[in-house]
Amino acid sequence: MKHLDPAARDWLEAQGFAIADEAPWLEALTHGSFNGTGAEAADYQRLEFLGDRVLGLSVASWLFRATGAPEGKLSQRLNALVSGTTCARIARTIGLPAHIRLGKQARDDGGTDSDKILGDVMEALIGACFVQHGFDTARDIIYRLWADELEGDEGKSKHPKSALQEWAAGNRRAIPAYEVVGRSGPDHAARFTVRVSIRNVGEAEATANSKGEAERLAAKAFLEQYG
């Protein structure tokens, strides 16, 4: 049976992840590109599935108790706070990239800086914590790691795509049209370039690690230029 790298174990414990059985933590840190058999064959996908739900419930509960905002505003903030982009940002903040188990090609292709991979592994670690210690412990760690995000402005402002659509309607313009005009990199570290245009007004482009994030940035750029 394989064991966690000592540096990874020390790092996990420094983040507040108490380790009894190493197996779920090893699984949470292992990308599908990492070659191996037996215990090493498992990757983070099942734990990511679980961690995503634990994160969502924890953040939804915090928002419900902390604010009297209506459902629409609660959903807007929840979506922003549990997004892959936010999870990846927190993963970078706590130093997760150095401890992900990737295959050589995935690492060479920049997998340790992929928002998708970092976000997924962050959720997998939450899943591992839930499996090993239960909901209350996982929730408390989420509240600590997400403290700045929860107390900050993440998700409070209108999503740029919604804001752009409202701007277009308010100015009697055509509906914004989004188009993927470029894609590069392997599937696990893909980069998307999206162009948003409004007829008789103009266009703007942005590039990101996901189509949705590229659309968001393109809408933001359009509003900054034409709004």
Catalytic positions, written as ranges: 52, 123
Rounded-to-integer distance, Cα 67 and Cα 82, Å: 17
Asked if 52 contacts 125 with a C-beta cutoff of 8 angstroms, the reply is: no
Which two three-digit tokens encode residue 220?
């933001």
Query: Distance between alpha carbon 52 and the CA centroid of its chain, in Å?
Result: 10
Largest CA distance in the chain: 64
Strands 177-184 and 202-208 come out as unpaired
Asked whether the CA dihedral 131, 132, 137, 142 is positive or negative, the reply is: negative
Count of beta carbons in the 10 Å neighbourhood of residue 75: 14
Which two three-digit tokens encode residue 179?
């188009």
DSSP conformation class of 94:
T
